[in-house]
A = this chain, B = another copy of it.
Amino acid sequence: MIQVAIIEDDQVIREGIEEYINYQPEMICDSAKESVESFLAILNSENIPDVILMDIGLPGMSGISGIKILKEKHPQINILMFTVYHDSHKIFQSLCAGASGYLLKNVPFPEIKKAIEIVHDGGSLMSPQIARKVIDHFQENKKKTKPSPLTEKEKEIVLGLVDGLSYKMIAQEGFISLETVRSHIKNIYKKLHVHCKAEVIKKSLSGEI
């Protein structure tokens, strides 16, 4: 028997899902609350749910903060996000915080049931459009390879800056004069529209160069 909890502020949705879950023979829901705070208030160590169905937009603490707190206290709980948000930021925040699944609110009840069973079974499930964003995230690293505006020599100088070398060091390692390094850096700044080393390092590390 899978113990399910619901944290969802919309009374109609909350009670609808609760009823549906309690109608299933393999799962039971005995705590359905409208906020993280009120759920934490009734949570006792004797009766830890296996799966929590969690909204993001909640009165008081957000569902994402809720994930962190709940996973901190009870890492074994599987948290399934159940929300209308499909923006990448909320998705990745949720997953990083410890969610084990991410469902959009347009899914039919049997999908919710399936998702609960899957996460309880050690798997994960996301709505297809969420899964696509998650997968795209892996490809983004590769895709945005705009050709760098910098020349090879300039890139070499940038690598020196990133490694924390002084102009003098870069000059020595590249067998060029300090003045040449300065010139290159002036040009790099112009091309990248920056005005200090820190921004060059940031751009370089973020893959922009």
Contact = CB atoms under 8 A, between A and B. Distances in A.
A95, A138, A139, A199: most-surrounded residue (chain B CB, <10 A): A138
A138 B96 contact: yes
Interface in A170-208: 194-199, 201-202, 205-206
Contact of A139 (B95, B118, B162): B95
A106 interface: no
A16 interface: no
Contacts of A152: none
B131 A124 contact: yes
A89 to B, nearest CB: 13
B131 A92 contact: no
Contacts of A36: none
Interface in A147-161: 161
Contacts of A98: 139
Contacts of A127: 123
A45 interface: no
Contacts of A121: 128
A142 B96 contact: yes
A96 B198 contact: no
A99 interface: yes
A144 interface: no
Interface string A102-144: 0000000000000000100111111111011011001101100
A35 interface: no
A59 interface: no
A202 B205 contact: yes
18 contacts: A92-B138, A95-B139, A96-B142, A99-B135, A100-B132, A100-B135, A101-B135, A118-B128, A123-B128, A123-B131, A123-B132, A126-B135, A134-B134, A164-B195, A164-B197, A164-B199, A201-B201, A205-B206
